[in-house]
Amino acid sequence: MNLEFFPFILLAGLGILVILIILFGRKYSLAYRLCFALFGMYLLLVVRLTIFPLPFKEVTLHRPLTEILSQVNLVPFNFGHLLKNNPNVIIHEIVGNILLLMPFGFGLPFLIRFKPRIFPWLAFGAGLVIEGAQLGFNLLLGGSYRTVDINDVILNALGAMLAYVLFRGFAWLVVTVSKRIKIKPGGIFAYVYEIALRGSDKPGVDGSLHNQSNRS
């Protein structure tokens, strides 16, 4: 029996997301809450792709701990396990891991402030959380239902950092175009412009949520 993501886990996740948005109330702008909702739905998709379904009875019965841990690849750039597959599978695995965290790299600046130099650590940490969760469920289920590989962490982080570079370019473009054609930002675009302004220069120091008044 598998524990599927649809419909109960999805509904539970969406319910928590709605509750958080309601709790934000008027403390945060409508634009911020919209970005938060989109980012939250993206995280639910990541959970679906990396964790579910959970095969509670299909996993080989309770392998020894040492056997499960022995299948964890901690050698960077060792793709030996992929060489057993056809080229399409290899490309899918590599490209898929890069794409997985690209929305993370582009979307995170819309939610929190951080210095650009710490973003590689955030990207690497996000990849570690995913692989750590997969390892945790492997141990819980007593089998290796998901491959745990340091290369996945590296590829996830690479995707996030590429997307952050795209965000910086996007921010510069928004600010430059707005100034040249003298657009006065309003509504949701005012929030996007504010984030772009920070991204095109030096973002704020703290990692706290953007505490916006509800001006939208």
Instruction: Report the mean per-residue pLDDT for the chain.
Output: 87
**Residue 1's pLDDT band (cuts 50, 70, 90):** confident
CA distance 205 to 164: 17
Residue 178 phi, psi dihedral angles, 5° rounding: -60, -40
Whether 106 is in a domain gets the answer yes
Instruction: Specify the range with the lowest mean pLDDT, choosing from 58-72, 103-117, 166-180.
Output: 58-72
As for how many domains the chain has, the answer is 1
Taking residues 45-56, report their average pLDDT.
Answer: 93
CA–CA distance from 67 to each of 101, 128, 140, 148, 215 (Å)? 29, 21, 14, 13, 56
Query: What is the model's pLDDT at position 61?
Result: 57
Q: Which of 59-63, 89-93, 130-134, 180-184 has the least mean pLDDT?
A: 59-63
pLDDT tens digits, 158-199: 999 999 999 999 999 999 999 898 877 788 899 999 999 998
Tokens for 111, please give them. 């939610």
Residue 120 lies in a domain: yes
* Alpha carbon distances (Å) from 80 to 73, 83, 123: 10, 5, 25
- Confirm whether 188 is domain-assigned: yes
Model pTM above 0.75: yes
Q: What is the DSSP letter of 209?
A: B
Distance CA 37, CA 155 (A): 26
Cα separation of 20 and 44, whole Å?
14
Q: Tell me: pLDDT of 208 over 80.
A: no
**Alpha carbon of 170 to those of 31, 105, 142, 203, 207: distances in Å?**
18, 12, 45, 14, 21
Residue 150 is assigned to a structural domain of this protein: yes
Is 73 part of any domain? yes
Within a domain: 135: yes
* Residue 214 maps to a domain: no
What local confidence, expressed as pLDDT, does residue 70 receive?
A: 87
19: containing domain: 2-200
